[in-house]
A and B are shown apart, each in its own frame.
Chain A
């Protein structure tokens, strides 16, 4: 039996060679670093190294869970992810449907280009644009508000605006890019289905509902599960760049906390525990959603 497998592998050695490349990548960059995870349960001492540092059990988790900021960090992380997901996930689908239904080829191309251009802007540029547009005195947005007789709002400074700006700019930047995969799925739907629906007198909305959406549903579910996998992994750089002491009560998420306390202040063991907690929550969510999808629909990750 073992021999059979080996023989099969040998006959298709070229494919396995190809597979080797990503596998090495995973081992070097994903599995090997996990060796360092143990410092979450140790008092990491650089002179003794990762392996020889002394075990301290759950001390660092204890400290993290009982720290004053734990619930705030957790809530900020969860609510920001949830918000991003609820707003950010359906919009590319809607955009794809919209583009798909646009009759003029020229307009279609233009729309597609215009919406996915922002994806290529660097994050620093986006934050700079936000700062300029949302400035309370010189910013475009506040000037428009002023025209309607409203008081200027210092958006970047208000904690309650942080999540909306974060998610809104994210949607603006990524909806075009995100819609590409749905467009591909849409174009693979058999056109005869649309014709048949048309013959039966289905309106445009009906055709979208009964033909387009079911056609791309597997894609939607897979992408949804993938997004859940990085649930708590919300844009760390962006949150960090947008952060200031005034909006920190909303903008401080576990990832920024790990960076500031761990990397900048050198409390490696403590923040390794915080980071591990984040990943474990991620992983459990992924299992739950995947399990649910497998039971309810045909498609799931595994």
Chain B
């Protein structure tokens, strides 16, 4: 009995060893293949004009697909552009949900596509897969030679170029360039019809805001006899840290909960001002003034409330999810907070999001890829990307492009109709957005509402820095605990699951988690960036 078992074990071990060596061999050969393809000259790329290449070039592309977008191979702009450029894109897009997961696995297994397009690459990704792993190739040389549009944009906005350059001096990904301020800023929307009906003015301070919200709740402004009005809407937990904070003097620099005064970086999540704002939100929640589902991040529910005009006051960049009722709303300036602050900090730098386009080391013709994307950074390409084909999807009226009615009145909604034409719904595509090409996401209504917040937006906004290896390791591990703790505690404070008597305990825990170390790390990153 014993002996027999020994035999089986041996057999098993032998089989295992066999499998291991086999797979090891397979791996090695794959690696050498990947290495060999790195060289290769400009692959017959024309340096100007179309088509980009004489013999059709083809790339595999990974990206994240917004629910409103059609399958990318069917998107009109891509189909037209393929004819023009002679570059074929083999799109392998993944639904937004679960996309980050897929992206990480592609990098981890080293099964890289030729391009990452609208793949939501974070700055941490660029540091890790660009600077450290060299899976993404540096782009600055290609930009100089093959991207005249982008090059001139960078000359125009040198600070933005600096911001997207990694600490090792390379550029690993191209950002979206949102020159139009409205495109990169959230806005405060308030229900004009309700205000008029109740004979109220837009609130200017905390007391007035409370009064208005209570009136929205109690006086049935939508006139259906039901108490279904939601006075104040926040889309998700993230909005707690960005939308009302400006009125409490809390800024959002470096893409984090940070104030910068006189070059001094300060993380404010343990500040009394933040506590005061949370107490305000807690009161709103208790009084049924705040949307009760805000902490769940239920986007479909949020959008359906928007399109039914159920919210009295809320924050969003553009009116596309509720374009049918957008005229019920108007904008308002941020309220003056209890400490006299009046800012609106939910805005991004021009070059953001940063990781919208990247070329991997397996790409055999990076020149053609760079030329392919550069078109969208020019005025002509920007118009083409955002509006499609003149006569077919848009018309010029008084020198301005206007989408055709067949798009605007599509029964599926404008955004879904847009999703057949381009990738504007969901944003994050590498291209230029100007006043002229702002389009639907910056229509008249949106620009009107933007007018209310524009002058309250901070002059300089620093995006999230790209950290070097040492800093990113430190910051990642510190933030893992701190962010989780802050997020959970803040939700509990607002929902009343955690009493404000426990605020000191919360602050102490953050101390234990080394919030001060995190602040130092950010200070260092900021100092390097400023040099």
Contacts and interface: CB of A to CB of B under 8 A. Distances in A.
A246 B15 contact: no
Interface in B116-134: 125, 128-129, 132-134
B136 to A, nearest CB: 11
Interface stretch (A102-110, A197-205, A258-266): A258-266
B315 interface: no
A47 interface: yes
B31 interface: yes
A157 interface: yes
Contacts of B129: 46
Interface string A57-87: 0000001000111000000000000000000
Nearest to A49: B27
A72 B76 CA distance: 51
A264 B16 contact: no
Interface string B473-492: 00011001100110110011
Interface string A212-246: 00000000000000000000000000000000111
Interface stretch (A27-35, A140-148, A164-172): A27-35
Contacts of A248: 484, 488
B29 to A, nearest CB: 13
B495 interface: yes
A46 B109 contact: yes
A266 B107 contact: yes
A27 B19 contact: yes
A27 B16 contact: yes
A66 to B, nearest CB: 10
Contacts of A261: 480
Contacts, number: 90
B108 A244 contact: no
B101 A264 contact: yes
For chain B, which range describes its interface: under 10, 10 to 19, 20 to 34, or 35 or more residues?
A: 35 or more
B407 interface: no
Contact of B492 (A31, A68, A246): A246
Interface string A1-17: 11001000000000000
Interface residues of A, number: 34
Contact of B485 (A32, A68, A244, A263): A68
Nearest to A263: B101
A42 to B, nearest CB: 13
B295 A67 contact: no
A174 interface: no
A157 B108 contact: no
Given A23-B15, A27-B15, A27-B19, A51 B24 contact: yes
Interface of B is mostly: helix
Contacts of A159: 497
Given A5-B7, A68-B513, A246 B295 contact: yes
A244 B295 contact: yes
Contact of B110 (A35, A46, A249, A264): A46
Given A31-B16, A45-B132, A246-B492, A63 B481 contact: no
Contacts of B481: 67-69
A155 interface: no
B142 interface: no
A246 B24 CA distance: 46
A265 B134 CA distance: 19
B19 A32 contact: yes
A279 interface: no
A246 B497 contact: yes
A2 B476 CA distance: 56
Nearest to B107: A46
B100 interface: yes
B19 A266 contact: no
Interface in B459-511: 476-477, 480-481, 484-485, 487-488, 491-492, 495, 497, 509
A41 interface: no
A45 B109 CA distance: 10
A246 B488 contact: yes
B104 A47 contact: no
A46 B23 CA distance: 17
Contacts of B492: 245-246
A46 B488 contact: no
A112 interface: no
B484 A47 contact: no
A35 B18 CA distance: 13
A56 to B, nearest CB: 11
A79 B422 CA distance: 51
A46 B361 CA distance: 13
Contacts of A249: 488
B412 interface: no
B182 interface: no
* Most chain B CB neighbours (cut-off 10 Å) among A45, A46, A263: A46
Contact of A46 (B16, B108, B295, B495): B108
Given A51-B24, A244-B296, A267-B480, 15 more contacts: A31-B19, A32-B19, A45-B133, A49-B110, A51-B27, A67-B477, A244-B295, A244-B491, A246-B491, A246-B492, A249-B488, A263-B105, A264-B100, A266-B128, A268-B108
Interface of A: 1-2, 5, 23, 27-28, 31-32, 35, 44-47, 49, 51, 63, 67-69, 157-159, 244-246, 248-249, 261, 263-268
Query: Considering the complex of A and B, which 5 residue pairs feature the smallest CB-CB distances, nearest first?
Result: A266-B104, A245-B491, A47-B133, A68-B481, A245-B488
5 contacts: A23-B15, A159-B497, A244-B295, A244-B491, A245-B295
Interface of B: 3-4, 7, 12, 15-16, 19-20, 23-24, 27, 31, 100-101, 104-105, 107-110, 125, 128-129, 132-135, 237, 295-296, 476-477, 480-481, 484-485, 487-488, 491-492, 495, 497, 509, 512-513
